[in-house]
Amino acid sequence: MGIGKYNTMAYKDADDLLFGESLYPVKTGLDLEIGAGYTTAEINYAPRPQSGESKESLIDEYERITRDIMQRMVQVGFQSVVLETEHVHQMTKNPSWGAEIAEAQKSILEDYHDKYGIKCALRHTIADLRIDSHGVDLRGDSYDLLMESFEEVSSSGADMVAIESLGGKEVFDHSILRNDISGLLFSIGVLGTLDVGYIWKDICKISKKHNVIPTGDTACSQANTAMFIAGGMLDMKLSHTVAAIVRGMSAARSLAAYEAGAMGPGKDCGYENTIIKAITGTPISQEGKGSTCAHSDFMGNLTMQCCDLWSNESVEYHGDFGGTTVQCWGETLAYDCSMMNTALVAGYGKMLRDILMASDRYRDPQSFILAYDNAYRIGETIVNHASDIYLRTMDAALVCCDLIEDASKGLLHLSKFEKATLKKTKADLHSLSMETDLFIDKCLSTYSKEVSSFNPSNYDL
């Protein structure tokens, strides 16, 4: 079970991590550089449901969205912007729809770039249709349709491509509801990692063919699911400590895209991206306080600490008092970027980074784990077992336990419930086999019986 590419950290020290600066910047789109000394707003949006009734109405909707964003960015004097089009299912099911939308959007971006000099780029995130209510089809017709969609948008105007892949989710959903640490490790570290590596080899081939940037994957379907189930301080559906440990493990899964050739910027909803940046040196997008239009979290400031693109998560397009939603949220993001960029020029980048990080560091185990110094520690653990996808995920989980346990003796408050969960989770981890083949064989036997939708052949197991 080996991949083995990142066996050392790209950054020599956690303190070298900073927003707007990456070791391997990406040049893309229309004069845009990402991670090359400045941050840029990445605006994420969703069309109104009724606009998906036909291809023509959906194209019109995305043209309106694109013009609204570009008009507001120029109107307020911002110098760069990225647009992220997350595919609604109609666009991936009908690849020509996605292609025509990408072409229409890119034409508008080119017009604004030519007239006003604004640096800009277009990211298209393909919808993973391989797991739905009908079952799991990771390697069949759904996979072919997925790759066709990547081909179409890559040849029609998208500058960058991404996906929030779903591999391992059938076992994860079963396991997270049962606090089954073995199933979580298996679904994230083995199944998810194998699937990410598989699909990204093909995505990177398509990207190279069409000269677009293969950006990266996220563990959204697993780690964000845990975050949403855990909820806030008033919720008791899932331990926040478990959600934090799942987040640390998820970095080992997302890393597989980069091992296959992804170049960043990592997609915004991958909260594990600070760990990825520390390991790979590639730029990242992050979401935080701007994502309150879609969901709540504990790290609205902290995630800004090392971002290169600053995003809002998906907001439905409609009118608001200050303009359309994409204009209002985009302007807010761009002002944050202006603040970060000014701090970089003035030599106060690390000071601002530390203020952002410290403001959320002890709010919750989930934010604590992603503070850049702890993220770096998790990254170090992952690269120590770079060639073994199970052990690197296991060690990421264990170091999360140790970090949270140590911090709980000081400023990180844990309830009795959280302390008990942490103790049990750590004991469960230590009870598991450290022999990768034995662990996988046992999990194959267990979850083939317990999860009706799990088919090992979907993962070539």
Contacts of 348 (CB under 8 A, 6+ apart): none
From CA 124, how far away is CA 193, in angstroms rounded? Answer: 22
CA dihedral 221, 226, 228, 234 (to 10 degrees): 180
Burial of 8 (0-12, 13-18, 19+ CB in 10 A): exposed
Give me the number of domains the chain comprises: 1
Contacts of 163 (CB under 8 A, 6+ apart): 125, 126, 127, 128, 146, 199, 203, 217
pLDDT band at residue 161 under the 50/70/90 scheme: very high
Tokens for 61, please give them.
């909707």
CATH number, domain with residue 128: 3.20.20.70
pLDDT band at residue 76 under the 50/70/90 scheme: very high
**Residue 100 · residue 156 · CB < 8 Å:** yes
> CA distances (Å), 449 to each of 171, 176, 296, 345, 444, in order?
11, 17, 36, 58, 9
Tens of pLDDT along 234-265?
998 999 999 999 999 999 999 999 999 999 99
Tens of pLDDT along 378-416?
999 999 998 899 999 999 999 999 999 999 999 999 999
Average confidence (pLDDT) over 52-57: 95
From CA 309, how far away is CA 263, in angstroms rounded? Answer: 14
Tens of pLDDT along 168-211?
999 999 999 999 999 999 999 999 999 999 999 999 999 999 99
In three-state form (DSSP H/G/I as H, E/B as E, the rest C), the secondary structure along the chain is: CCCCCCCCCCCCCHHHCECCEEEEEEEECECEEEEECCCEEEEEEECCHHHHHCHHHHHHHHHHHHHHHHHHHHHHCCCEEEEEEECCHHHHHCHHHHHHHHHHHHHHHHHHHHHHCCEEEEEEEECCCCEECCEECCCCHHHHHHHHHHHHHHCCCCCEEEECCCCCHHHHHHHHCCCCHHHHHHHHHHHHHHHHHHHHHHHHHHHHHHCCEEEECCCHHHHHHHHHHHCCCCCCCCCHHHHHHHHHHHHHHHHHHHHCCCCCCECCCCCCHHHHHHHHCCCEEEECHHHHHCCCCCCCCHHHHHCCEEECCCEECCEECCEEHHHHHHHHHHHHHHHHHHHHHHCCHHHHHHHHHHHHCCCCHHHHHHCHHHHHHHHHHHHHCCCCHHHHHHHHHHHHHHHHHHHCCCCCCCCHHHHHHHHHHHHHHHHCCCCHHHHHHHHHHHHHHHCCCCCHHHHCC
Mean pLDDT of the chain: 96
The answer on pLDDT for 130 being more than 80 is yes
Tens of pLDDT along 27-46?
999 999 999 999 999 999 99
**Is 334 domain-assigned?**
yes
pLDDT, residue 3, reads 56
Tens of pLDDT along 296-310?
999 999 999 999 999
**Is 6 domain-assigned?**
no
**Is 190 domain-assigned?**
yes
Nearest to 9 by CA among 350, 386, 307: 386
pLDDT, residue 31, reads 98
Model confidence, pTM = 0.97
**Is 414 domain-assigned?**
yes
- Domain encompassing residue 413: 14-459
**Is 135 domain-assigned?**
yes
**Is 270 domain-assigned?**
yes
From CA 78, how far away is CA 223, in angstroms rounded? Answer: 33
**Is 4 domain-assigned?**
no
pLDDT, residue 2, reads 47
pLDDT, residue 1, reads 45
**Is 431 domain-assigned?**
yes
